[in-house]
Chain A
Amino acid sequence: MSERESLNSQLEHLQMRYVGTGHADISKHEWLTNQHRDSLSSFIGHSSFLSLFSIAENESVGRVRYNTLTKMISPCGPAPKIKDNTMDKEEKND
């Protein structure tokens, strides 16, 4: 039992050190924000994406790049307020 736990927790601990990894209690908003940030940084990383977007949006590449960077701050808007306590119910079901 202890071995199993340590094995799992070790790996999990390792994973938690990275930004953007998830866990069983992550919210939809959090996960999607991560997705967006990853996508945006991927767009900046691959210059062909930026060219494509600049043509589609009729903006300069620099502008698109700047917009993308700015967007990363809050890509999906503010986190929704948690009003329901579905989480608690769910715990009981386990």
Chain B
Amino acid sequence: MSDQQDQTMSEWDDTTLNKAKVVEATPRRNRWDETPVSKPSTGVEETPKRRSRWDETPININSGGLSGGVTPNYNAMSNGGVTPIFNNMMDGGVTPVYNSNNNNNSNSNGGSNNNKNILMQTPDPYQAQLQKEIDERNRPWTDEELDNILPSEGYEILQPPANYQPVIASKKLTASTPIGAAGTSGGFFIQEEQSRGQDFGIIDAPDGITIKPEDKVYFEKILQEGGDNDEHLSPEEQKERRIMKLLLRIKNGTPPMRKQALRQLTDKAREFGPAPLFNQILPLFTSTSLEDQERHLLVKVIDRILYKLDDLVRPYVRKILSVIEPFLIDQNYYARVEAREIISNLSKAAGLASMTSTMRPDIDSPEEDIRNTTARAFAVVASALGIPSLMPFLKAVCKSKKSWQARHTGIKIVQQIAILMGCAILPHLKNLVVIVEHGLTDEQPKVRTITALAISALAEAATPYGIESFDSVLKPLWYGIRQYREKGLAAFLKAIGYIIPLMESSYASYYTKEVMTILVREFKTNEDEMKKIVLKVVKQCVATEGVESSYVREEIIPEFFKQFWVRRMALDKRNYKLLVETTLEIANKVGGGEIIERIVDDLKDESEAYRRMVMEAIEKIVSTLGASDISPTLEERLIDGILYAFQEQTTDETSIMLQGFGTVVLALNTRIQPYLQQIAGTIKWRLNNKSAKVRQQAADLISRIAVVMMNCGEEQLLSHLGQILYEYLGEEYPEVLGSILGALKAIVNVIGMTKMTPPIKDLLPRLTPILKNRHEKVQENCIDLVGRIADRGSDFVSDREGMRICFELLDMLKAHKKGIRRAAVNTFGYIAKAIGPQEVLATLLNNLKVQDRQNRVCTTVAIAIVAETCAPYTVLPGLINEYRIPELNVQNGVLKSLSFLFEYIGEMGKDYIYAVTTLLEDALMDRDAVHRQTACSAIKHISLGVMGLGCEDSLTHLLNYVWPNVFETSPHVINAFLEAVEGLRFALGPNTILQYTLQGLFHPSRKVRNIYWKLYNMLYISSQDALTPCYPRTLDENDNKYQRYELDFVI
């Protein structure tokens, strides 16, 4: 029985994909050894060079001399366990590595000798690296290091007690540990660097490609001296080296190198033949040191050569599959996806027949994992070649009389197909169900279980369709849930749980009632898996339309809360989530008040994790269902509980409490009024807490509930809180300061500028220095607040304060976060409006001279915004004057500002178009392409703004300057040109542009024709109809009548 249980247990694990480790241990791996290429499994010893770093560093020799006599002591010590601390630190076989190393080093000073020692202990190169790093970090402190850290005064080096034996030994030892000695004075950093240089030492390969030492094994042949010298090699070897070189370039080369190599490899794939190709690729693919990116590249290689090789690949299907299949259950998601892709391509290249014949033997393999991966591989084949083509095979396998393993795998394939393909199974649903249904009554429990799981996967994939396909399995499932217990039952319940939502409401109600007795019985279960399934099924049943609330209330709720709302459920994350979701579903059915009533008192439970789960459930319920059915008494208990839970928080996980509190307060709205004093008291208390997290949470809470406080008419209280927050502006933790600023912002928003306490004229000067803070959260909140004040309360902003803010804002334009830059730019506008544009503008114009491009771009945007808010005539003269400065950046900045400016002011532009025409003329004639480009985009915005406002004269003039840029080749310039023409098309009409275009359409030079036809097409697509009257008159030729005589009609 226990054996059986174990087996069934692994059934569950299949779905969670955590079996990768086990797979590695299966004998299946041996098949890789079929490949003749050198393999890393035993080949670690082949990398002697890497290890020789020990004698490469001169410091080691030094340490070696010291350590000679000391190390044995250390050894004895760690074995004997005299100093328990050291033992703890060094367990896991770390010490021996060091020792052997040290000994050998000191004696022979030759690296090759000790290699074997180390390598045999750590066959995996990664492991070795890791281990070494751990060792290095955990090595004992030296006296010197301690001297560096601790002050010399006030500390005393104590003599150890007389009975403490190994003290002297250990002291010497610490000084002599190889690495400790290596960088004695340097502390951690220098040593780390040193070891990194040696450890991750990069090997130079041909073509300047660098590879990791771990990869060296695979590319050894071409890495050796004279690897390029092919003459004495046989053709086979030459081929091998060529492939190797190409693979190396693909794997580690630069992108152009990789592209070229990939193309070569693909083109030559048939020439090389599958054998040498796969003999090299497959071992690489299984390398432990393969990174995601590299694996992806290899997958790409395999995909391409599979496509090229096509049916040539058939003899190698087995080999490829044996390497790729284990990746189907890898822990890494990307590995699984890539493996699927390869198998899918493989099945397309090799065909169904060869795939099935290859994988057939694995179907009844005694190894569970082989069957598992085979099932997954078959599912991939089905999705690649279509389910129908695999159907006859599946039918046969699922009915196999030979062994239950085959039936099990067959049914598992169906399950995997459903999981992999989702709703794409719908057309074949009936057939798939028919194929597996007999498994429900199989004599093997494992087959029954997997069948139920397959059916639940099918039902899940089919939701909400296809109930008719499941008719035939309802009865056996039904008997099943009455007959079985434990795991078998769980699978059957899961299947029913997924089928019920597909049913019509009346049936659903009937079946829910039937299944519920069993579910309620299973509420008591201790099995984790069963618990999860029961919760899931309850959620699905309750959500079904046909189930009445009275039924849920009477039959489910009492037992449900008794069994599930217990502390233990809060400990497991998945249980926790499921329980909250299920409870929310029940609340949807019976109403939120009733459910909250049941759990509200648990807000005062002793266990914090449990309180949090209760809070989350309440938060979810209140946010979906509102607070209207919460009675006054319940309301009181709820607030009381929340306040308790809020105050009793000790862990760092604060967001749930905060969110729950905020949601409930928002939902209750004015009903919260009687409790506000108490809440405010709590907040005040917590704002003063010594833990930063608590203060931050309190401030966050204020910003969430400020609106409700205002609704409740608690203006007084808000002002009071504002005053307190103001006093806390000296906060040193940036996260907290950010939250405090956010809270102030929320208060200012609801209370208004005039009534705000502290008065804005006091608040603003306190904020200006905070703008200097480099923390993003602080910056963002502060600038929002300042912007809000400048916007709404411009009377309170003094000129000097405004300028000071402006200077701070300039720095903000460098911020990484877009939100901050945008807020800064907008604030410029508000401030300019408050204190007048002149001085702000001067500051901004000066800023155009800076080097940083992003800063300049933001400045130009700010200038444009100032122009928009303070009317363009206040800004334009200064701006145009600035253009006279013979400096590229400044002039471009001015042009860019003009571009933004005209974009923002739109129609207003008609009054300013003459003012800027000469400037744009100049820019369009400039030698610098960026000038012309920016001027073009300015013209685009101008023309779009003034369309139909009678500015054709100057626009035509400008078009004459724009047009010569038609042959520009730089992509940005030509794009700007095209956009300018497009804009002018709107303002001047398509026919004006057509007349310009006609001249080049049949030009002798193709280059001219190309761009002119592009312009023509642009025109044609956007104003096809409008062009018709204006095409040039063309005379008839021979048989062709080219005249459009209708246009000459005159009446």
Interface of A with B (CB < 8 Å)?
Answer: 3-4, 7-8, 11-12, 15, 18, 20-24, 26, 28-29, 31-32, 35-36, 38-39, 42-43, 45, 49, 52-53, 55-56, 75-78, 80, 90-91, 93-94
Contact = CB atoms under 8 A, between A and B. Distances in A.
Given A15-B1017, A22-B1013, A38-B1028, 12 more contacts: A21-B1016, A21-B1017, A42-B1028, A53-B1049, A56-B1051, A76-B1041, A76-B1042, A78-B1039, A78-B1040, A80-B1039, A90-B1006, A94-B1005
Given A39-B1044, A53-B1049, A22 B1039 contact: no
Interface string B446-461: 0000000000000000
Contact of B1028 (A22, A26, A35): A35
Contact of A77 (B1007, B1018, B1041): B1041
Interface stretch (B574-582, B717-725, B804-812, B1030-1038): B1030-1038
Listed from nearest, the 5 A-B pairs whose CB atoms lie closest are A24-B1009, A15-B1017, A56-B1049, A21-B1017, A39-B1028
10 contacts: A20-B1024, A21-B1017, A28-B1034, A35-B1028, A36-B1044, A39-B1047, A55-B1051, A77-B1041, A78-B1040, A80-B1039
Contacts of A38: 1024-1025, 1027-1028
A76 B1013 contact: no
Residue among B1004, B1006, B1028, B1038 with max Cβ neighbours from chain A (10 Å)? B1028
B28 to A, nearest CB: 45
B1039 A12 contact: no
Contacts of B1031: 35, 39
B88 interface: no
Nearest to B1044: A39
A56 B1007 CA distance: 44
B29 interface: no
A43 B1001 CA distance: 25
Contacts of A28: 1002, 1034
Given A4-B969, A39-B1028, A56-B1049, A12 B1040 contact: no
A88 B1004 CA distance: 11
Contacts of A11: 1014
Contact of A93 (B1004, B1020, B1027): B1004
B1006 to A, nearest CB: 5
Contacts of B632: none
B664 to A, nearest CB: 53
Contact of B1040 (A26, A53, A77, A93): A77
Contacts of A4: 969-971
Contact of A42 (B975, B1025, B1037): B1025
B991 interface: no
Contact of A7 (B971, B1005, B1046): B971
Contacts of B549: none
Given A35-B1031, A76-B1042, A80-B1037, A90 B1004 contact: yes
Contacts of B1010: 24
A69 B1017 CA distance: 25
Contacts of B1001: 22, 31
Contact of A80 (B1005, B1018, B1040, B1051): B1040
Contacts of A35: 1028, 1031, 1044
B1021 interface: yes
A39 B1024 CA distance: 9
Given A39-B1028, A77-B1039, A23 B1013 contact: yes
Given A38-B1027, A39-B1028, A32 B1042 contact: yes
B1031 to A, nearest CB: 5
Given A38-B1028, A94-B1007, A32 B1034 contact: yes
Interface residues of B, number: 37
B1006 A20 contact: no
A90 B1006 CA distance: 8
B632 to A, nearest CB: 65
Nearest to A52: B1049
A80 B1006 CA distance: 22
Contacts of A78: 1039-1040
B1049 A22 contact: no
A28 B1004 CA distance: 14
Nearest to B1016: A22
A22 B1013 CA distance: 6
A93 B971 CA distance: 26
B1039 A26 contact: no
Given A38-B1024, A52-B1049, A29 B1040 contact: yes
B1025 A12 contact: no
B382 to A, nearest CB: 36
Given A38-B1024, A38-B1027, A39-B1044, A93 B1016 contact: no
A92 to B, nearest CB: 11
Contact of A15 (B971, B1014, B1038, B1051): B1014
Contacts of A8: 1014
B1018 A15 contact: yes
A91 B1006 contact: yes
A3 B1037 contact: no
B1012 to A, nearest CB: 8
A91 B1005 CA distance: 8
Contacts of B1014: 8, 11-12, 15
Contacts of B1038: 80
A28 B862 CA distance: 51
Contact of B1046 (A26, A43, A80, A94): A43
Interface in B151-206: none
B1047 to A, nearest CB: 8
Contacts of B1005: 93-94
A56 B1040 CA distance: 24
Contacts of B1050: 56
A22 B1039 CA distance: 23
Contacts of A42: 1025, 1028
A81 to B, nearest CB: 10
A52 B1050 CA distance: 9
Contacts of A3: 971
Contacts of A15: 1014, 1017-1018, 1021
Contacts of B1028: 35, 38-39, 42
B729 to A, nearest CB: 49
A15 B1011 CA distance: 13
A77 B1039 CA distance: 6
Residue among B1004, B1031, B1040, B1044 with max Cβ neighbours from chain A (10 Å)? B1040
B296 to A, nearest CB: 22
Contacts of A94: 1005-1007
Contacts of B1037: 80
Contacts of B1044: 35-36, 39
A67 to B, nearest CB: 10
Contacts of A55: 1051
B838 to A, nearest CB: 42
Residue among B1024, B1039, B1047 with max Cβ neighbours from chain A (10 Å)? B1024
